[in-house]
């Protein structure tokens, strides 16, 4: 299953991406994070202790966590906000800690962690018109660090509203054929 979680507050990129993927034989599931009620991570540490692997905050994130836990590919679609993702998508990212492996290991000479289920692909699609070099670089840097700390494969894409259909299809092909 390919899971798309998008912030469609400033555009319609999540549904557009979903539509572009509809011919794929893989099941596509999409949620609009901005339409869900998701509270910020409370840093209670319960998911890495008392309720290991389970987030105790009862809100719409409980719809997403079971899907993220089993998906083949996770695609986060967000406006680029100060070189980061929007707060709607960041809330999802912060709460994904419940799905992480709390143990540490060494990879390429550095300490890293990983996800509880090995093999998930993780994509990030940033949306923004007229982004400057620093914004694009920061967005790419964030996703690169995410992939490193989560020990997952994936790619980052940055789109603007002038994007043509061919480019969108190229991104779709990258995701569905991984």
Partner 1 sequence: MNKSNIMLICASPRHKGTSAMLLERVQVVTGGKIFFLPQRGSLDELVLAMQKAGTIIISGPCYINTYPARLIELLELASIKGNFSGQKLYGIINGGMPYIHTHQHGLICLKLFAEQNHLSWQGGFVLGIGAMLDGKPLEKHMNRKRIVPAFDKFIRNIVEGVQSPNSLYEEAQPPPGKLTTRIFTKFLTFLVVNNLKKYGHDPEAPNYYLRKQEEDKINGSH
Positions in the binding site for partner 1 (CB under 8 A): 39-43, 48-54, 65-66, 68-70, 81-87, 90-91, 93-94, 96-99, 101-106, 109-111, 116-117, 134-135, 138, 141-142, 145-146, 149
Residue whose CB is less far from partner 1, 150 or 175:
150
- Please, what is the minimum distance in Å from the beta carbon of residue 22 to partner 1? 25
CB of 69 to partner 1, least distance (A): 4
DSSP E strand stretches across 10-54: 28-32
Q: How far is the CB of 155 from partner 1 (least distance, A)?
A: 17
Residue nearer to partner 1 on the CB measure, 140 or 163: 140
Minimum separation from the CB atom of position 77 to partner 1 (A): 16
CA-to-CA distance for 99 and 73, rounded, in angstroms? 14
Using DSSP's 3-state secondary structure scheme, residue 59 falls into coil
Q: How many helices (H) and strands (E) does the chain have?
A: 5, 7
**Quick one: 6 or 86, whose CB is closer to partner 1?**
86
3-state secondary structure 150-171: HCCECCEEEECCCCCHHHHHHH
Which CB, 17 or 142, lies closer to partner 1?
142
Phi and psi (nearest 5°) for 125? -115, 115
Q: Which is nearer to partner 1, 60 or 94 (CB)?
A: 94
Cβ atoms of 111 and 159 closer than 8 Å: no
Nearest alpha-carbon partner for 149 in 104, 105, 114, 101: 114
CB of 17 to partner 1, least distance (A): 22
How far apart CA 21 and CA 168 sit, in angstroms, is 10
CB of 86 to partner 1, least distance (A): 7
Whether 29 and 1 have beta carbons less than 8 Å apart is answered as yes
Of the pair 17, 146, the CB lying nearest partner 1 is at: 146
């Amino acid at each position: 299953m390919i899971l798309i979680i998008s912030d469609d507050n400033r555009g319609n990129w999540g549904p557009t991406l979903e539509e572009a993927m509809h011919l794929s034989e893989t099941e596509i599931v999409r949620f609009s994070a901005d339409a869900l009620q998701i509270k910020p991570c409370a840093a209670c540490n319960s998911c890495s202790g008392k309720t290991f692997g389970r987030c105790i905050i009862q809100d719409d994130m409980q719809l997403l966590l079971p899907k993220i836990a089993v998906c083949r590919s996770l695609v986060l679609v967000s406006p680029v906000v100060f070189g980061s993702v929007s707060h709607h998508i960041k809330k999802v990212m912060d709460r994904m800690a419940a799905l992480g492996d709390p143990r540490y290991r060494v990879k390429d000479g550095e300490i890293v962690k990983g996800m509880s289920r090995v093999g998930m692909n993780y994509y990030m699609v940033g949306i923004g018109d007229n982004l400057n070099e620093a914004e694009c670089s920061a967005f790419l840097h964030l996703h690169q660090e995410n992939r490193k700390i989560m020990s997952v494969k994936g790619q980052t894409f940055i789109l603007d509203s002038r994007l043509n259909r061919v480019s969108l299809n190229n991104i779709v092909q990258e995701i569905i054929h991984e």
